[in-house]
Structure 1
C-alpha cells in the first residue's frame, strides 16, 4: 500500500448533544455504490486517547465507497467537541460512554439501523463499557488495538521494553503525553518506520495534549463486568478483534488475552502496522480485514459482493 493512497477528506460535520451540556463533533460520509435491497448497518468509529474524529478520515472514505454510512465522533474534550479545561482531564469512562450513547441514539432517531461500533485503543474500552448495558442497540463491535477488559496493566512490561527511557520520564513527570510529545516519540509509541516524516508531522500536530487521568486509572485494571457482555450470545458471535503486528502499546500477547476473555474469539493481526492502524501507511490492509470479518460474521450471503 502506498503513501499516496491517503484519502482526501470529503466528509461533512454536524454537532450532536450529549450529557453535561456537551456538544459532540460528528463527522460523516454517506455510503455510495449501494446495492439495491442490501441494508448495510452504519459504522460508528470511536477514537482513543489524544485523537479525535479526524483520525478516521481514511476509513470514512474507504468504507463509504463500499456502501456503508460512516460516522466518527470526537469525545468530549477532543477535536471540535466541547472542551472544558477544568474537566477534560477528569471525565469518567462512563461519561465517554454517554457520548457514544448520544450518537447511537441520534443515528436511530434519524432512521438509521443499529450501527457497528468500531473502537480504537481507549475507544475500544469505551465500546466494551457501552456494551455492558446497551448491546441490544448495536449490530456488532469491532475492537482495534483495544484495551482488554482486564486493563492496561498487562501492557506495561512491553512499554518499558519498547520505549524504556521515555516511559520512565513519563512516569516521573506523571504525564503520559510525554510518550508522544514530539513526532519521533510518537513514532516509537504509535507508528511504524514506514510512515513518512511529513505525514508523521501532520498527525502529531493534530494530537490532543490533554491526558485523562481518571480514565487511565479506571482502565488500568478490570473495568467491566464480563458476564453482562458474555451473556449476549449474538454479540459474541459477531465481535471482531484486530491488532497490529508492530504495536507496542497493545501488543499481540495482550490481544490474545482480549480474545480469550471473550470466549476464544480469533484475533486478526495485520502485518507491518503499529498502534495507530487507521493512520499507518498500510491502513487499507486493516480496512480490508475489517470488511472481510464483517462479511463473514454478519453477511455471509454477501461475502463476495465486493
Structure 2
C-alpha cells in the first residue's frame, strides 16, 4: 500500500525554517528532528523525512540560523548558537524527539544531547567527538587550496566529489549547487572543539557512516561510535551525504528499523 504524505514549510522559534511531514495517523511514535550539516539546509532531509513519516513518526527538519530560509546571520553563528537552535525547536515538539544530525549537524546533535533529554540520537557521517583534524587532512590531500581557504576563514567549497559517489554527474552537480556558505567561526570550532558530555537521560545513540566518505575518515567515526557505546552501521560505496546519494534508502531504513527495535523492547 502506498501512503501519500508531503513536506510542509513552517516558521519555528527564532525565525527558523522548519519542514514538517505528518504521519498518516496519530500514534505514540516519537517525533524525529533532522539537523543538517555544513553549508546545507533542511531541504537535504526530504527523502528521509517522508520515510520517517510513512513509518509513523512526525518528521521535522530545521535550517540552522543563516541557512536555507532561516533568519539570522552566519557572521555571528557558532556551534553553540546552532545547538541553541536545535534545543529550542526540540522543546516545541509534542513529545521527546529523536535527534538526527549529519556531518557538522552530527556534532551539533552530540552537544544537544548533553542538554536535551532526547528519546535517542542518530549521528550520520558525523564530525567526530574529538577535533576534526582528520577531515582537514582529507580535504588537503584532495584539494590543498580548499583546506587553505578554510584555515583563512572562507567556506569550504562543497564539491560534488566531496558529497556523493553514486549519482549521475548532472545530479551530483545539482546537489552541490544547492549548498551554501558556512560560518567561519563554526568551521574553526570543528577543528578545535572539546568532546561533549554524555547524553542526558542516557539516550541511546546510533551511528550511520560510509567507509568511502571523502570528508570524515571512517576511523574517526568508529572512534566516535565507541565513545557513545553506539551501534555502528556502515554503507560501503556511498558518499558523505548519505541522505542524498543514490542508495539513501538503505541508511534511512536502518535508522527506522533501529528505532522500531528499541520501541519493542
Q: Is 2:92 aligned against 1:106?
A: yes
The aligned counterpart of 1:270 is: 235
Normalized against structure 1, the TM-score is what? Answer: 0.79
Number of residue pairs matched by the alignment: 262
Query: Equivalent of 2:211, from 245, 256, 260?
Result: 245
The question of 1:69 aligning with 2:34 is answered no
The CA deviation string for residues 158-198 of structure 1, in whole angstroms up to 9 with x for no partner, is 3333x1445355357642433x2xxxxx2221111x21133
Question: Scaled by the length of structure 2, what TM-score is found?
Answer: 0.90
> Which segments of 5 or more consecutive residues in structure 1 lack a partner in the other structure?
1-7, 181-185, 302-306
Q: Residues 195 and 189 from structure 1, CA distance in 2 versus in 1: closer, same or farther, beyond 3 angstroms?
A: same
1:94 matches 2:74:
no
Q: 2:252 aligns with which of 258, 274, 287?
A: 287
Residues 146/105 of structure 1: CA separation in 2 closer, same or farther (3 Å cut): same
1:177-256 matches, within 5 Å, as 177-178=156-157, 180=158, 186-192=159-165, 194-208=166-180, 210-226=181-197, 229=198, 232=200, 234-235=202-203, 238-256=204-222
Of residues 47, 70, 75 in structure 1, which corresponds to 2:36? 47
Q: Which of 111, 114, 132 is equivalent to 2:114?
A: 132
Alpha-carbon shift at residue 221 of structure 1 (Å): 2.9
Decide whether the 8 Å contact of 1:245 with 1:252 is kept in 2. Answer: yes
1:11 aligns with 2:3: no
Cα pair 2:131 2:192 within 8 Å, conserved:
yes
Question: Does the Cα contact within 8 Å between 2:33 and 2:98 map onto a contact in 1?
Answer: yes
Secondary structure of 2:191's counterpart equals: coil
* Deviation digits for residues 67-87 of structure 1 (CA, Å, limit 9, x no counterpart): 111000001100011143xxx
Aligned-CA RMSD value: 2.2
SS, match of residue 82 in structure 1: coil
Residue 115 in structure 1 maps to residue 97 in structure 2: yes
Gaps of 5+ in 2: none
SS at match of 2:161: helix
Cα deviation digits, residues 278-305 of structure 1 (max 9, x gap): 0001000110111122123x2235xxxx
Q: Per the alignment, do residues 244 and 33 of structure 1 end up closer, same or farther by CA in structure 2, a change over 3 Å counting?
A: farther
The structure-2 alpha-carbon separation of the partners of 1:120 and 1:293, relative to structure 1 and needing over 3 Å to count, comes to: same
SS at match of 2:123: strand
**Judging changes above 3 Å, is the alpha-carbon distance between structure 1 residues 9 and 155 closer, same or farther for their aligned structure 2 residues?**
farther
Work out which of the residue numbers 16, 24, 31 in structure 2 matches 1:24. 16
Aligned to 1:304: none
1:222 is displaced (CA, Å) by: 3.6
